[in-house]
Amino acid sequence: MRTVATAAAALALALAGCQAPDVGSHCDFSLQLPATLAGDYLESGNTQCDNLVCIASSAPLAGKAKNNPYCSKPCVGDADCSPSDTGLVCRAVVLDDAFLATLTDQQKATYLGGASSGAGSFSKYCAVPLQ
């Protein structure tokens, strides 16, 4: 009986630690976005996205993707984005070369890490699929 109680307690703790991710949840940008987006906008440090980033996408919402802008995270493959729940896929988000040129090397190292080396630099994030 004691083993069953211990197993039940362990299961309850494990389930409590598995909270639904914020990926795909609505977020607001701290800066005013243009009325028509020409590409993806990414904002880090957004307090509405716990340990994630906020992305505004120019791609139209489809399927289960309901919010724009939305919380996102770096990913390696589509499974990292829970596409059946969020409607998001893992895809490259390209960094703008004109923006990168305005940053010092220290700012690039601090805020972008290795994602800022060379033209067309990118990282993969959970994002609305491109049509």
Is 13 inside any structural domain?
no
Residue 102 within a domain: yes
CB-based contacts of 60: which residues, under 8 Å, 6+ apart?
128, 131
Tokens of 38: 């020409």
Does the residue 36 lie in any domain? Answer: yes
What residue type is assigned to position 67 of the chain? N
Read off the pLDDT of residues 22-48 as tens digits, 9 standing for 90 and up. Answer: 899 999 988 888 888 878 888 888 888
Angle at 111 between CA 40 and CA 34, to 5 degrees: 30
Q: What is the pTM of this model?
A: 0.67
pLDDT tens digits, 60-103: 776 677 888 999 998 999 999 999 888 999 998 877 777 778 87
Q: Please say whether the beta carbons of 77 and 50 come within 8 A.
A: no
Query: Among 128, 54, 124, 48, which residue's Cα sits nearest to residue 93?
Result: 124
Percent helix, strand and coil across the chain, each rounded to 5? Answer: 30, 20, 50
Which conformational region is residue 120 in: left (phi greater than 0), alpha (psi within -120 to 50 degrees), or beta?
left
For the chain, the domain total comes to 1
- Does 6 fall in a domain? no
Tell which wins on pLDDT, 60 or 17. Answer: 60
Domain housing 123: 21-127
